[in-house]
Chain A
Amino acid sequence: MNEHHPSRFHGIWALTKRELKKWLKEPIILLMAILQPVLWMGLFGKAMNIGNMFSSSSLSLPSLVPIPGSSLIPPQLGDASGYIYVNGSYLSNAFANLGPTIMQGIFGVADYFSYMAIGMISFIVMFTTMFSGMSIVWDRRLGFLNKVLSTPVSRGTIIFSKVLNASLRAIFQATIILILAVIFGLQVSSTFTVVSILGLYAAVFLLSVGLSSVFLAVALRSTRWETQMAIVNLINLPLMFASNTFFPISQMPDWIQAIARVNPISYLTDANRQLTVLPLDASSLMFDFAFLGVFAAVFSVIGIALSWRYLTK
């Protein structure tokens, strides 16, 4: 007889530790996980030099720029054809001053890299959690799941440990991105403090819990990892681009805006940006956290409820 009276949650840490160990023991996968955001930040954040588009270098003006005089008041100032001529370099200068204002207006930050680097955190969190469903499919195929099911570990624990594992990994990866972003020239706002980092972790944790619960619930009865791959491939693109991860929602057509406004990724990105690169707006930050909290609570409860229902056939 097993003389111990394990608590309801005794297996959580054991199962989470197993997955973290597997992950840390695979240095190549770990390296790839770090390299991927570096590449993305390098290519997306630096190559898509949106800030530069709004600078004078994107204009090549003649020395005298004709402007229809009728658009000006009073019109009689122009020449016989009705045009007035402005010195090109003046216009260039005027535009160079306008550029940052446009950037500030659209993205809220002066440089696109800072905007995008924080979006990268959402991107990596999304990818990490999406694949959490895969591990349960493998556990089922290799018989590990059955072995765990034959022990007194609570059924919900099995799912919860996977959620926890995905969340811890997401936080780890978010940290790496943040460090890399600072190295590459992230410009933080004046309201940024150490506490902001904790806030960012909390937001990442909430989204990870919600998203990985969704994907685990989908994977619960699946025996084919191909199905999981197909689902992940299908929805990662819309989930990522119908959000403010790489581009502001306000500039999108209405129908995409409608999707982006219910997309939890948008709320994570917004919360993280407010905590780091944007001036902090307490009420909208609260709303972001409330949305993420409800998302995490609802889907983790659904995931755990489904695991009670479906892990025993």
Chain B
Amino acid sequence: MSEEVIMTEELTKVFNKHLTAVDHVNFSVKQGEIFGFLGPNGAGKTTTINMLITILKPTEGKASVLGFDIAKQNDDVRNVIGVVPQEYTADEDLTGLENILLCADLYGIPRQISKERATDLLKLVELTDFKDKKVQTYSGGMRRRLELACGLINRPKVLFLDEPTLGLDVQTRTATWDYIRKLKKEFGMTLFMTTHYLEEADSLCDRIAIIDHGKIVVVGAPEELKHSLGGDIITLSIKDDPDVTEVISSVENVKDVKKENGSYRITAQIGEVTAPLIIEALREKGYTVTKLMLTEPTLNEVYLKYTGRSMRDTEESRETFRAQRMTMIRARGG
């Protein structure tokens, strides 16, 4: 088996003839890695995942999962993948155990094997005590874990996770990350996930692709991407706001100086050493530093660099999602 578990070639999806959700995307995912698709809502993440899990047909281009063509050999793909969708898809009227067994039946797994697996999986996601309770009574985190268990029932080689922590609170989110790491370790799977949480991509993923308006803008390991920015960011303001770009640029290890809104945004290596040197250089020339901030680059800076927008601006979409979900629950009278 080749090292590339997922391969895409100019993968494209156009809805209603003019809305291009995914635009000639090329990437590959290696055996055993956690590959993250990072981007704001509407960037094309879910559309990409839906094509890879064979529920959407690509308009153009092709993709393969474990060597199986997603369009022509879709049943082969479906057999070897596991899917943890964005929504809570477990049936609320059934118990946790019944839901897992239902998933098993959909893969045609014989009952005696599926029962054994269900017991193991429930233990793994710590839902054994709740297995006979209706899913209605589960909390968000428990539901997410149940989805994980369902996605693993067919012992998939590749697990697709669409926004695995969407709508969860911070603690539950961190706990879910731990489960995902544990799963990867236990089953040695390849994971493909989408997220719009920078921290999630940073802490979980071995490699990420930043996707914006249906196009991949950059692919790499989070560390590598952060380093590609050239170092830490020093932001400082100077009394009376004179132009001191020259002075700062002459300091050792300073890579780049930008003046924006009355403050300087400096990219420098080893920021904690360089910052005092900059202050020193400025004082020698008679300038007074009034404010200084040192930040290590995060994926937000990476995102900002490649898309020109801040990822944080899209954060409120999480609240929108929650509100939508609550409306749905009310609509069903639950």
| A interface residues with partner B (beta carbon < 8 Å) | 1-2, 4-7, 10-11, 13-15, 18, 21-22, 25-26, 141-144, 146-153, 312-313
> Contact between A6 and B85 (Cβ–Cβ < 8 Å)?
no
Contact (A22, B93) CB under 8 Å given A4-B108, A152-B79: yes
> Contact between B91 and A18 (Cβ–Cβ < 8 Å)?
yes
0 or 1 for each of B126-158: is its CB under 8 Å from A? (1 = yes) = 000000000000000000000000100011110
> Contact between A2 and B105 (Cβ–Cβ < 8 Å)?
no
B124 CB-CB contact with A under 8 Å: no
State which of A5, A15, A150 has its C-beta within 8 Å of the C-beta of B78: A150
Interface size on B, residues (CB 8 A): 35
Which residues of chain A have C-beta atoms less than 8 A from B103's C-beta? 147, 151
Contact (A6, B108) CB under 8 Å given A1-B79, A143-B85: yes
Q: How many inter-chain contacts with C-beta < 8 Å in the A-B complex?
A: 93
> Contact between B110 and A4 (Cβ–Cβ < 8 Å)?
yes
In whole Å, how far is A14's beta carbon from the nearest beta carbon of chain B? 3
B83 CB-CB contact with A under 8 Å: yes
Contact (A4, B55) CB under 8 Å given A143-B86, A150-B81, A152-B79: no
0 or 1 for each of B76-113: is its CB under 8 Å from A? (1 = yes) = 00111101011111010110001000110111111000
| B interface residues with partner A (beta carbon < 8 Å) | 50, 53-57, 75, 78-81, 83, 85-89, 91, 93-94, 98, 102-103, 105-110, 150, 154-157, 328
Which residues of chain B have C-beta atoms less than 8 A from A18's C-beta? 91, 94, 102
> Contact between A14 and B83 (Cβ–Cβ < 8 Å)?
no
> Contact between B55 and A146 (Cβ–Cβ < 8 Å)?
yes
Interface of B is mostly: loop
Q: List 17 A-B contacts (CB under 8 A).
A: A1-B157, A4-B109, A6-B108, A7-B108, A10-B108, A15-B106, A25-B93, A142-B89, A143-B86, A143-B87, A143-B88, A146-B55, A147-B85, A149-B54, A150-B78, A150-B81, A312-B54
> Contact between A142 and B78 (Cβ–Cβ < 8 Å)?
no
Q: How far is the CA of A14 from the CA of B53 in the complex (A)?
A: 21
State which of A4, A5, A147, A312 has its C-beta within 8 Å of the C-beta of B89: A147
Identify the 5 closest CB pairs spanning chains A and B, nearest first. A6-B108, A143-B87, A14-B105, A10-B108, A151-B106
Q: How far is the CA of A150 from the CA of B156 in the complex (A)?
A: 12
> Contact between A146 and B91 (Cβ–Cβ < 8 Å)?
no
